[in-house]
A = this chain, B = another copy of it.
Amino acid sequence: MGITRSDIFTDYQNEMAALAKVLGHPARVAILQHLFKINACVCGDLVDEIGLAQPTISQHLKELKNLGLIKGTIDGTRVCYCIDKENWTKMKSKFSQFLDQDLDSVKECC
């Protein structure tokens, strides 16, 4: 049905999935990489840098902003985007918690 049955999962599972999902597109990975490299930039720069149309970039920026990974400030006719450091740190610890599950005690079945 294309609809995720989030009602049957825990909050943790849904939040973890939502975070992973927003990283699950190469354009958004590229945007975040560029913001780390450049510190801050405007939408138009990303259009040039990445090579997708302006509305497409704008849409990806919106998703990143909705999850809190970036923030934007209006600067005249432009909008300056940058990494939201506080939320990035929170995301990192959420991922760490998931990825660093105890692998040593895992027994492979085969």
Q: Which positions in A face B, CB cutoff 8 Å? A: 4-6, 8-10, 13-14, 16-18, 20-30, 33, 35-36, 39-40, 50-52, 71-73, 80-85, 88-89, 91-92, 95-96, 98-103, 106-110
CA distance A24 to B22 in the complex (A): 8
CA distance A76 to B15 in the complex (A): 37
Closest residue of chain B to A12 (Cβ to Cβ) is B29
Q: Is the CB of B26 within 8 A of A110?
A: no
Q: Is the CB of B9 within 8 A of A16?
A: no
Copies of the chain in the assembly: 2
Which residues of B lie under 8 Å from residue A8 when comparing CB positions?
Answer: 50-52
Q: Is the CB of A110 within 8 A of B6?
A: no
Q: Is the CB of A17 within 8 A of B13?
A: no
Which residues of B lie under 8 Å from residue A81 when comparing CB positions?
Answer: 109
